[in-house]
């Protein structure tokens, strides 16, 4: 699904080039649940943003579903993002002025899905995540965990092939975190490919592959030694 070859990301300032990512080679198959781990400043969010077409690499090759993305126009990249990617943020990024219903509906408006179909799709999400009773509330009337459930519902309403999540449980307490990870697990079992960034080994244990990063390079990979053990920790 994803192939990265020799990806660099750098910032040029005056006569100095600062590398954020350097020589990243990575392959991700459809159906994987990958976790990226590493210390603060390692470049994890930058890598995730490149995978999700929210940022461009400075050099190297990125193919997504067999298509060389590094050659695509901005418009085509934005279309790719909208039709194939769901993105979940640590700080939820819900729109404060919109209700739960309207937040979840938002990606469908961008995609120009018809009214009656939108209604049915949002109703299905509300039902699926047990938040029907919350549909007319605003984000600030929800707990953090509930806001993130809405964030996930919004990310997947368009049936993305790839779900990217940047520390999705970073602001949540453990019960809420586990609820979000159970949702991810269920989505992955339904075939959604997931790449998440987390600092938590326990959350990493829900996935099936760990990629470690440090100072902008991939350092090592652990197929997680014992997933069940990590979850029960
Ligand atoms: N636009 C930018 N200009 C300059 N430096 C940047 C820019 N974006 C990111 N960086 C730097 O690149 C490095 C990697 O940032 P990134 O946010 O990808 O790290 P991270 O691994 O996700 O960290 P954290 O775990 O703290 O979120 C950091 O040192 C950051 O300061």
Q: Does any ligand 1 atom lie closer than 6 A to the CB of residue 9?
A: no
CA of 47 to the centre of ligand 1 (A): 10
Give the number of the atom of ligand 1 that is nearest the alpha carbon of residue 213: 21
E strand spans, the chain: 2-13, 16-28, 33-37, 59-64, 67-68, 85-88, 162-166, 193-197, 209-214, 217-222
- The β-bridge partners of 121 are none
pLDDT in tens, 15-31: 899 999 999 999 999 99
- Assess contact for 149 and 131: CB atoms under 8 A: yes
Q: Which residue has the tokens 């990617």?
A: 85
- Assess contact for 211 and 51: CB atoms under 8 A: no
Rounded to two decimals, the ipTM of the complex is 0.93
Give the number of the atom of ligand 1 that is nearest the alpha carbon of residue 42: 21
Residue nearest to atom 31 of ligand 1 (CA): 41
pLDDT in tens, 107-127: 999 888 999 999 999 999 999
In whole angstroms, give the CA distance from residue 47 to residue 69.
Answer: 14
Direct distance between the N- and C-terminal alpha carbons of the chain, in angstroms, rounded to an integer:
32
Domains and CATH numbers, the chain: 30-57+77-232 (3.40.50.300)
- Work out the mean pLDDT of the chain and round it to a whole number: 91
Residue nearest to atom 27 of ligand 1 (CA): 40
Kindly state the average pLDDT of the residues 195-199.
96
pLDDT in tens, 61-75: 999 999 898 888 888
- Cα distances from 199 to residues 33, 61, 64, 83, 229, in angstroms, run 16, 27, 26, 29, 17
Residue nearest to atom 16 of ligand 1 (CA): 43
- Given pLDDT bands bounded at 50, 70 and 90, which one contains residue 226? low
CA of 21 to the centre of ligand 1 (A): 9
Residue nearest to atom 11 of ligand 1 (CA): 20
Whether the predicted pLDDT of 32 surpasses 90: yes
Residue nearest to atom 29 of ligand 1 (CA): 41
């Amino acid at each position: 699904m994803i192939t990265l070859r020799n990806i660099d990301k750098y910032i040029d300032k005056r006569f100095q080039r600062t590398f954020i990512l350097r020589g990243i080679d990575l392959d991700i198959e459809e159906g994987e649940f990958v976790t990226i781990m590493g210390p603060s400043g390692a470049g994890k969010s930058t890598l995730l943003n490149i995978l999700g077409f929210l940022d461009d690499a400075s050099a190297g090759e990125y193919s997504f579903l067999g298509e060389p993305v590094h050659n695509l126009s901005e418009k085509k990249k934005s279309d790719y993002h909208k039709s194939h990617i769901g993105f979940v943020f640590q700080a939820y990024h819900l729109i404060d002025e919109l209700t739960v219903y309207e937040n979840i509906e938002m990606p469908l408006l961008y995609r120009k899905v018809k009214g009656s179909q939108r209604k049915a799709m949002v109703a299905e999400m509300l039902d699926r995540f047990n938040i029907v009773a919350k549909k007319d509330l605003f984000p600030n009337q929800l707990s953090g965990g509930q806001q993130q459930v809405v964030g996930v519902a919004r990310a997947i309403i368009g049936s993305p092939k790839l779900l990217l999540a940047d520390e999705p449980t970073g602001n949540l307490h453990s019960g809420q975190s586990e609820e979000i990870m159970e949702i991810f697990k269920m989505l992955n079992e339904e075939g959604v490919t997931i790449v998440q960034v987390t600092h938590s080994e326990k959350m990493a244990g829900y996935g099936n592959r760990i990629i470690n990063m440090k100072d902008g390079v991939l350092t090592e990979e652990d197929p997680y030694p014992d997933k069940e053990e990590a979850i029960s920790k």
